[in-house]
Structure 1
């Protein structure tokens, strides 16, 4: 058979029996497809195995997961807590009612707030005269401090009176709250030494100017003045202060204010010991300390001006 006959025979064979060097059979490709699937499955398994686990807040903080208590364990104490809170609130309300009960109109607290407010008002009046027309800058500064400080304390005491439902003024005898506890009716002359205290209006030079020949009206005025607050300046002294100028004004202001402070210290000392309200006692103690310091300062100012000590 010739070569051409062979070629013709090959070409005449069915197509599926023809084999070439470049064609692969299904059997040859199957193992390759299986290997690829296995590789894909292995990769998926590895990715799942190495994926980060979800962490809880407890795990993130490194703490062991808290064990949750059953609901009945968490709730059994709730009524006890509620009862305890209600009991404390009720007790506090009752105690507050006792503490907030306003003092009596005749009490040391109310009397001190009223009388010391009036006492302070005169101090502010005298201090403003010195501050406005005084000659010495240092003394004018002292007067300014007194006016500002005592005006502020007046505001505090007026606030107390308003909170207690008490008017700022009363028909009661001034200083009645300072009567001797052993003599509540005041038959023994009120506060010990009150009637003879130096610097009271009835004992001031201007207040006693009427002398033994005073008319009945003058005697009545002096009797009223005798129950005024300690250290208060008389109307005549206030007029003298208003008319003074220069060094005379400085010296008179210091003299009157030192005496005024001494009376205020006496009142504050009594309130610091006998007032019922903690706030009243605290303010009274502060007044004693502050006014004692101011007395020392003003005495030094008198010496600096060459005037006698008050």
Structure 2
């Protein structure tokens, strides 16, 4: 999501989904020669410039409508609340997205896909920090103890339990089914898929990354949609809604990039 103009970074307590996505600061990711962007097809460059401002406008509209994150509190949520479960599980979900984004940044060849990997890694790493700070403020643990996704209605008693939850049917558009190949949450890549991504380079890395990240984002959107409807905390609902807006737009861009690269749709 490299855009023609950059904006100043917002205060550190505002999640990245509520601001324009900016390029990484020094120390966030190793420097990479981005001059290859000049050789990217004009159509590909235009597509990113067209939708990126729209994402910014939509996310900003959530804040303007009263979902601003600064100062919104309803008292600390409980340990078993939707709020706590969402923040913990989404932090883990984000962690894999950061890993995949950095692999594409290091190994990819297509400038558009490499930029997407960098943007996702930077944005979701910052969101992990925000979610962790909220949990700490509430005196809650950072990680899920036991099975994930119980906050969405699962019981955690069987590997296929999540298959009966809304949007949790394995396979298809979400990729590897939950409970197989080390997949703990919807859309996450399996252990073998991550190994193949780590070993790939060039166009192979681009296609693998885009395919896996589309699945990953679809699962993340399902989780965020549920939290946006059922969380008690205003700022948790605001963050979840912003995630839905941004990740849905990123899915559309990555689907376009797969088509541009002549690869099968995810």
The answer to whether the Cα contact below 8 Å between 2:89 and 2:148 also exists between their aligned partners in 1 is yes
Unmatched tracts of structure 2, length 5 or more: 1-70
Q: Tell me the CA shift for residue 201 of structure 1.
A: 4.0
Distance 1:107 1:184, change over 3 A: farther
User: Any idea what the Cα deviations from partners look like across 1:192-227, whole Å, max 9, x if unmatched?
Assistant: 342435435446xxxxxxxxxxxxxxxxx74x957x
Q: TM-score, normalised by structure 2?
A: 0.66
**Greater C-alpha radius of gyration:** 1
CA RMSD of aligned residues (A): 2.6
Structure with the larger helix share: 1
Cα distance in structure 2, aligned partners of 1:124 and 1:189: 25
* Count of equivalent residues: 192
Partner of 1:265: 221
Partner of 1:282: 238
Cα distance in structure 1, aligned partners of 2:162 and 2:191: 28
Cα distance in structure 2, aligned partners of 1:155 and 1:244: 29
User: Any idea what the Cα deviations from partners look like across 1:130-179, whole Å, max 9, x if unmatched?
Assistant: 00111111111111111111111111100011011111113232000001
Larger relative contact order (C-alpha < 8 A, sep ≥ 6)?
Answer: 2
The answer to whether the Cα contact below 8 Å between 2:167 and 2:222 also exists between their aligned partners in 1 is no
The answer to whether the Cα contact below 8 Å between 1:272 and 1:280 also exists between their aligned partners in 2 is yes
Aligned: 1:147 with 2:117:
no
The answer to whether the Cα contact below 8 Å between 1:197 and 1:230 also exists between their aligned partners in 2 is no
Q: Tell me the CA shift for residue 240 of structure 1.
A: 0.2
Cα distance in structure 2, aligned partners of 1:200 and 1:161: 30
Moved over 6 A (4+): 183-188
Q: TM-score, normalised by structure 1?
A: 0.57
Equivalent position to 1:171, from 128, 142, 145: 145
Q: Tell me the CA shift for residue 189 of structure 1.
A: 5.8
The answer to whether the Cα contact below 8 Å between 1:179 and 1:190 also exists between their aligned partners in 2 is no
SS of equivalent to 2:80? coil
SS of equivalent to 2:94? helix
Partner of 1:210: none
Unmatched tracts of structure 1, length 5 or more: 1-95, 204-220
